[in-house]
Amino acid sequence: MLYSFATVALFLCAVFGKDYGLSGKMVATPIGYRPVECVIQAEENAVLRSIDGVGTYAYYPESGRRSFHPEIKGCVENAHDITEERKKRIEADKQKKQNVVGAKVENNVENLKTWEVYASETVSTMGSFTSQYQLPSDNPTTGADIILYYFIGMQNNDDAVVTIIQPVIEYCDTCGTGGGAGWNMSPWNCCANGQTWQGPIKIISTAGAYINGVVMSNTTYDYISCENPSNGDKTTLTVSAARRTFDWIAFTLEQYNVASCDDYPTDPFWSRNMALVDAAGQSFEPSWTYQNGDGCGGKIVEQDAYDLALYSSTA
């Protein structure tokens, strides 16, 4: 299996209280645990064309190869359940903030769960969102099997089918050089036709590396990319004619299998030099709201509206 994340043997009914008619094997993704049948990794940069009720056609420009991935009913149902839960959480966060932009909230979460710390904003229709990531200079030291995802993303909360596009940085115990612990990067598209797509995985070998993340949407395609300027590595997904109305943005930490607060890096993960452009081509300044409270003191620290430091934990 080519996924860069851990495979977890769980029954779907244990997660959602229902049986989707699939194998029951789950994998971690940046949008939550998903059935393994619903997660597809592109080994090359890919152009995707999704057709509702049919599936996804993939074209790989570098090799000329093509493939087709049919829609699976259980995957569509699972994706719907995940996005409905995500919308409920976002709405609950809004209510806690009493619609006050810039409010800081502590949830006092008892158990570490997925989207732990994030900055977000409901916006007019997005055109593009870019960031220069700066990775921590130190790695987690104690955790086994941990998975940490850091990313900016755009989500279409007001569309009938809620989806998200994310240029993702991942840390895990098999993500580094030679299959050891370390960092990698890949673009993600979730979950049109119930499918979660991960683009090609590129290893990041330098501590504290700078990586460029891009998400872009227009009337003909959506585009997600990660690029390492130090060595030219670049990994992309292009989704043709998706026509999604992205009206919610976030900068996020999502984690799995963290057993101790010492599992997190000490240094922050930075989203720097962010640029936000709406669908009309106009740049704008974000007014972030923050979700803090992962049980380890994780938080967002704003240097300015375009430079955010995400501390996974604090002493």
How much helix, strand and coil, in percent to the nearest 5, is found in the chain? 15, 45, 40
At 96 the pLDDT is 56
Higher pLDDT, 94 or 198: 198
Report the chain's mean pLDDT, rounded to a whole number: 86
Beta bridge partners of 146: none
Task: Convert the pLDDT of each residue in 183-209 to its tens digit.
Answer: 999 999 999 899 999 999 999 998 899
Minimum mean pLDDT among 63-77, 134-148, 183-197, 268-282: which range? 134-148
Please report whether residue 37 resides in a domain: yes
Please report whether residue 196 resides in a domain: yes
> Within a 13 Å sphere around the CA of 292, how many CA atoms are in the beta-carbon half?
20
Model confidence band, residue 315 (pLDDT cutoffs 50, 70, 90): low
Percent of the chain with pLDDT over 70: 84
Determine the distance from the C-alpha atom of residue 13 to the mean position of all C-alpha atoms in its chain, rounded to a whole number.
24
Place of tokens 């909360």: 157
pTM here is 0.88
Please report whether residue 51 resides in a domain: yes
Show Cβ contacts of residue 134 under 8 Å, excluding neighbours closer than 6 positions: 208, 209, 210, 269, 270, 272
Looking at the structure of the chain, the number of domains it has is 1
Residue 68, domain extent? 7-311
At 297 the pLDDT is 86
Please report whether residue 211 resides in a domain: yes
Please report whether residue 59 resides in a domain: yes
Provide mean pLDDT across the span 300-314: 93
Please report whether residue 2 resides in a domain: no
Provide mean pLDDT across the span 265-281: 96
227 pLDDT above the threshold of 70: yes
CATH code of the domain covering residue 91: 2.60.120.700
Show Cβ contacts of residue 100 under 8 Å, excluding neighbours closer than 6 positions: 289
Please report whether residue 1 resides in a domain: no
Any idea what DSSP says for residue 193?
G
> Within a 13 Å sphere around the CA of 284, how many CA atoms are in the beta-carbon half?
19
DSSP-derived secondary structure for 132-150 = EEE--SS---S-SS-EEEE
Cα dihedral 89→85→8→254 (10° resolution): -30
Task: Convert the pLDDT of each residue in 8-33 to its tens digit.
Answer: 433 334 344 567 999 999 999 998 89
Please report whether residue 77 resides in a domain: yes
